[in-house]
Amino acid sequence: MTAIRLHPADHAWMSDPATLRVMAALEAAVPGGARFVGGCIRNALLGEPVDDIDIATVLEPEAARTALEAADIAVHPTGIDHGTLTAVANHKSFEVTTLRRDVSTDGRRATVAFTTDWAEDAARRDFRINALYADREGLVFDPVGGLEDIPGRRIVFIGRPEDRIAEDYLRILRFFRFYAWYGDGDPDPDGLAACAAMTDGLARLSAERVWVETKKLLAASDPAPALRLMAETGVAQALYAATPDTVRVSRLAALGGEDPLLRFAAVMGKGVAGLIRSMKMSNAEAGRIRRMTDTGLAADISGNWPVRAELEKLVYRHGNETVADQLFLLFSQDETPPEGWGGAIAHVLCFKAPDFPVNGADLQKTGLAPGPEMGETLRRLENAWVNSRFRLDRATLLSKL
């Protein structure tokens, strides 16, 4: 095969001063002992944006740390037990990992040993397009045949799919996530069959890992095709005890609803309440999903959204994000969104609710003592102010006492 080269002049991330500093520091210890690996090479070859830069090295973690610190590069031992350091140069982070081979696996985690063999390191990875390496000059090294998959955007396991999945059952979900992001055409039949046959192993995974991977999948431009495959193979039911609503998530994508939490609520429908607990999501994430699926607020929005004054009231009471989320979910229910849907969402997102100009101190100055009566008076004045579309000023409001 003709050698493939990524020319640094065509890829800003390769010629960035911070990148050059990190690579030079590692190669000063072992010439040729560091290569770019994984996503940055895959994305560069696919013409996709490169966001994260991972580097593989023959240096063991302490030697890599020493080499980096000698070049005044900050080092954080973010995953040192598995050979991973985070190097920070010019305020940019790079994941630097020692070449590894698996000693043992249990379907969730692996015990690893360090190696200097690039082929061994490649063999323990998940998909062939994720096992591509490149040196500082951009020459691509392909130990497992990943370059064959680039033109057709194929997601193919390294070796036997069953072996890779048995090492870590999260790779089933990753197969669909990478298909959602980078796949094209029909999925690899052997990989798909292995995922379908090994769904029982998904029960071994922690909810936290499943949730992180699920959010990444839902962040794809349109995750519906991957979600349909997950439903057809039984993977979705094993993970979420639900069949995803792929039609609704496609509609949401067409409306510009890109947020993974919003898509999760749309995909899971009525089952989302139970999944908030079982997915072990953060309090902030759970709170947002509960707000966007609040049926009482949904009823208010459904009947009043065409009137901008009503939307402004709802934003004041519930916040821009919650009202926008509810509108996205409302408009994704039908095949064709109603006229004016885009303007409604845009208005909600840009409307800045003002601050209520009256407080308890103002009422005390009029002789009203703190207590239930003051609270009721504040609520009455606030309602009048909101109903005026926030136009009544402080003096006018106090004159209503």
Number of other CB atoms surrounding residue 50 within 10 Å: 16
Instruction: Tell me how far apart the alpha carbons of residues 115 and 117 are, in angstroms, rounded to a whole number.
Output: 5
pLDDT confidence of residue 80: 78
Q: Is the Cβ–Cβ distance between 367 and 343 less than 8 Å?
A: no
Q: Kindly write down the DSSP assignment for every residue of 217-248, as one continuous string.
A: HHTSS--HHHHHHHHHHTHHHHHHSS---HHH
Q: Is the Cβ–Cβ distance between 99 and 55 less than 8 Å?
A: no
Instruction: Tell me how far apart the alpha carbons of residues 166 and 327 are, in angstroms, rounded to a whole number.
Output: 42
Instruction: Tell me how far apart the alpha carbons of residues 78 and 88 are, in angstroms, rounded to a whole number.
Output: 12
Sorted by sequence, the CB contacts under 8 Å of residue 162 that are 6+ apart come out as 194, 197, 198
pLDDT confidence of residue 319: 96
- Provide the CB-side half-sphere exposure for 383 (13 A, CA): 6
pLDDT confidence of residue 177: 98
Distance of CA 395 to the CA centre of its chain: 48
Tell me which residue of 246, 260, 245 sits closest to 325, measured CA to CA: 260
Token representation of residue 23: 């690579």
For the chain, which residues score pLDDT lower than 70? 1-2, 104-110
Sorted by sequence, the CB contacts under 8 Å of residue 233 that are 6+ apart come out as 192, 195, 196, 199
Q: Is the Cβ–Cβ distance between 185 and 221 less than 8 Å?
A: no
Q: Each residue of 242-299: pLDDT tens digit?
A: 899 999 999 999 999 999 999 999 999 888 988 998 888 999 999 999 999 999 999 9
Interior angle at CA 279, CA 277 and CA 285, nearest 5? 80
- Rounded to whole angstroms, what are the CA distances from 107 to 199, 202, 327, 399? 12, 9, 41, 71
pLDDT confidence of residue 102: 79
pLDDT confidence of residue 280: 87
Query: What's the chain's length in residues?
Result: 401
Name the phi and psi angles at 114, rounded to 5. Answer: -80, 155
Name the phi and psi angles at 366, rounded to 5. Answer: -90, 0
pTM (2 d.p.): 0.89
Instruction: Tell me how far apart the alpha carbons of residues 150 and 156 are, in angstroms, rounded to a whole number.
Output: 10
pLDDT confidence of residue 110: 66
* Domains of the chain with CATH codes: 1-151 (3.30.460.10), 294-350 (no CATH), 360-398 (no CATH)
Instruction: Tell me how far apart the alpha carbons of residues 373 and 204 are, in angstroms, rounded to a whole number.
Output: 57
Token representation of residue 286: 């759970």
pLDDT confidence of residue 100: 92
pLDDT confidence of residue 82: 81
pLDDT confidence of residue 111: 76
Q: Is the Cβ–Cβ distance between 1 and 143 less than 8 Å?
A: no
Give the N- to C-terminal CA distance of the chain in Å, as an integer: 86
Name the phi and psi angles at 7, rounded to 5. Answer: -85, 120
Token representation of residue 43: 């994305």
